[in-house]
Structure 1
Amino acid sequence: MHHANHYYGHSHVLARYCGLDDADPPRIHGYLQHGWNIGDGMAPDHEYVPGVAKFVWSERVRRRAWSLGRREVYVTGAPWAYLLAMEPPAGEPREGTIWYPFHGWEGQHIVGDHDGLIGEIRDTETGPVTVCLYWQEFRDKRVRALYERAGFRVICHGYRGGWWKDLDPGFLLRQLTEQRRHSRVASNRLCSAVLYGTLAGCEPAVYGDPMRLEGEQSAFGGQARIAREWGRMHGPSIDAAYARELAVAELGADRLLPPPELRRLFRWPSPQQDPALEATGASPR
């Protein structure tokens, strides 16, 4: 299994949906899109073996991949959408905003003005604010302290994982639990977290200095294209009906596959054939 298929516990969520052992997911025979992007669904810094299946979130991404010469591309929907299907809301009250500052990753750090962004958040949000930092920024005491001194609750959903290490099967569930506690979801860039929150019932917002990555490359048109093509998803207040319709389309929430079909695409066994379950005598959830 390509190590990126484990990011954020994606393979674990899909194994659970398919009735298999979500503590030790079977190998996905192909590449799974692991984040919202404006290209072909695949991370540009990864190498891919020609002819190996690619599993993308939406029909829109599949068409872009096809136009770029990708073949063996299948629409499966985002793991987040499957998680929501398995975890219906409990109807608990919501309050405030969960805010996701644009973050770096293990290979690139963020360049931007956190103080300026904090000022914009204070000027815009009227309720309590939870700032969710990526683990890299959360571990940076200087960055974390900036948001804590501003009076915000500061959290981290966990590790993304990588190269089969620091895997975090509970990442998405923690993210969903937090988002369902809040009325709004916001970021300084349109991103997976904003689309996730919209699908989970939050009012979305995208505003503030978008910041940048060190040595950032504007792949597939970059921020200029995002602002142009997804312009209606930017601002401190966004039309909720439009945002939800877009989130459903971008996350493929209207394209979820039944467990047998998903298992067939991934070349996964049926639950009664899962050797891990047979060995322990456990039954799939």
Structure 2
Amino acid sequence: MHHANHYYGHSHVLARYCGLDDTDPPRLHGYLQHGWNIGDGLAPDHEYTPGVPSFLWSERTRRRAWSLGRRQGYVVGSPFAYLLAMNPLTDNDQREGTIWYPFHGWEGQHVVGDHDGLMAEIRRTEDGPVTVCLYWQEYRSAKLRQRYESAGFRVICHGYRGGWWKDLDPGFLHRQLAELRRHKRVASNRLCSAVFYGALAGCEPAVYGDPMHLENEKNAFGGQPRILREWAALHGPRVDPATAHRLAVDELGADRLLSPAELRRLLGWPMPASVPDAELTGVLTR
């Protein structure tokens, strides 16, 4: 199993959906997309073995992968969409304020930008209380964390992403969903997975503010300019919720979720002998 398949507890969520032990997911026979992107769904910094299938979130991503020569791509939907399907929204969800996700770096690149300017813009834009969710890399910087806290924000972190089969966090997406369900709005300074997650989970999304940048950032697959062109409807301090939800369904593959039997078969996971063959029809052609 490629270690990225465990990121954010993705393999654990899928194992639970399939009725397997979500504390120890089986080996996943392929590469699972672990974040929204505008390329082929796979991280450009990872090495991949030719011929190994890719399990992608959406049909749009599969088509892009096909055009780039990755022909063994299967649309399975995002792990977050499966988690939401297992924990559907209710009218009893008490929502207040905004959860804000500043653009973050990763182990190989840090973010460069004006956090003070961003905090001021958030304050000018948001009416209610604001929760700022920092990525683990920024959260462990006490100085940065305290700057956001001093500005009056509640500051949290959903957890560690995990990497190289260490520091795995099966509860990451569960905590993220719980936080999204308690907020009316979700926002970021760049269109990202969290914004789509929030839109799917009933939040009013927004993308505004200094987009910041990564050290030595490259505009792969068109970069920020392309995102601004293709997903213009999702940018701005006020975005139409119905449009955002429709786009989130498309990008997260929420309308393409497989049955547990189909997903087991496609991922190469164990299948109960009692599952009818009819449930598997068409799984290898998706």
For Structure 1 versus Structure 2, the TM-score category normalised by the shorter chain is over 0.9
Q: Aligned-pair distance for 1:272?
A: 7.5
Contact 1:20 1:271 in 2 (8 A): no
How far apart are the structure 2 equivalents of 1:93 and 1:78? 25
Q: Aligned-pair distance for 1:89?
A: 2.5
Q: Aligned-pair distance for 1:71?
A: 1.3
Per-residue CA shift, 1:62-81, capped at 9, x if unaligned? 00000000011000000000
Contact 1:7 1:167 in 2 (8 A): yes
Letter in 1 for 2:20: L
Quote the residue 1:280 is aligned against.
none
How far apart are the structure 2 equivalents of 1:92 and 1:219? 38
Q: Which runs of 5+ in 2 are unaligned?
A: 275-286
Quote the residue 2:68 is aligned against.
68
Per-residue CA shift, 1:201-235, capped at 9, x if unaligned? 00000000000001111100000000011111100
How far apart are the structure 1 equivalents of 2:155 and 2:161? 18
Quote the residue 2:109 is aligned against.
108
Residue 248 of structure 1 aligns to a residue whose secondary structure is: helix
Q: Aligned-pair distance for 1:146?
A: 1.0
Letter in 1 for 2:165: W
Alignment of 1:233-244 (within 5 A): 233-244=234-245
Quote the residue 1:282 is aligned against.
none
Q: Is the deviation greater in 88-97 or in 138-147?
A: 88-97
When residues 145 and 271 of structure 1 are mapped into structure 2, their CA distance, relative to the original with a 3 A threshold, is farther
Structure 1 residue 232 corresponds to structure 2 residue 233: yes
Per-residue CA shift, 1:178-223, capped at 9, x if unaligned? 0100000000000000000000000000000000001111100000
Q: Is the deviation greater in 259-268 or in 82-91?
A: 82-91
Q: Aligned-pair distance for 1:259?
A: 0.6
Quote the residue 1:7 is aligned against.
7
Contact 1:100 1:188 in 2 (8 A): yes
Quote the residue 2:141 is aligned against.
140
Residue 163 of structure 2 aligns to a residue whose secondary structure is: coil
Quote the residue 1:126 is aligned against.
127
Quote the residue 1:167 is aligned against.
168
Quote the residue 1:263 is aligned against.
264
How far apart are the structure 2 equivalents of 1:145 and 1:174? 22
Structure 1 length as normaliser, TM-score? 0.95
Q: Aligned-pair distance for 1:271?
A: 5.2
How far apart are the structure 1 equivalents of 2:250 and 2:230? 14
Quote the residue 2:178 is aligned against.
177
Quote the residue 1:248 is aligned against.
249
Contact 1:144 1:154 in 2 (8 A): yes
Q: Which runs of 5+ in 1 are unaligned?
A: 274-285
Q: Aligned-pair distance for 1:166?
A: 0.5
Q: Aligned-pair distance for 1:156?
A: 0.2
Structure 1 residue 204 corresponds to structure 2 residue 220: no
Quote the residue 1:35 is aligned against.
35
Q: CA RMSD in A?
A: 1.0
How far apart are the structure 1 equivalents of 2:137 and 2:79? 23
How far apart are the structure 2 equivalents of 1:208 and 1:145? 20
Letter in 1 for 2:235: H
Structure 1 residue 55 corresponds to structure 2 residue 55: yes
Quote the residue 1:281 is aligned against.
none
Runs ≥4 residues deviating over 6 A: none
How far apart are the structure 2 equivalents of 1:221 and 1:258? 35
How far apart are the structure 1 equivalents of 2:151 and 2:32? 38
Aligned length: 273
Residue 93 of structure 2 aligns to a residue whose secondary structure is: coil
Residue 131 of structure 1 aligns to a residue whose secondary structure is: strand
How far apart are the structure 1 equivalents of 2:214 and 2:80? 25
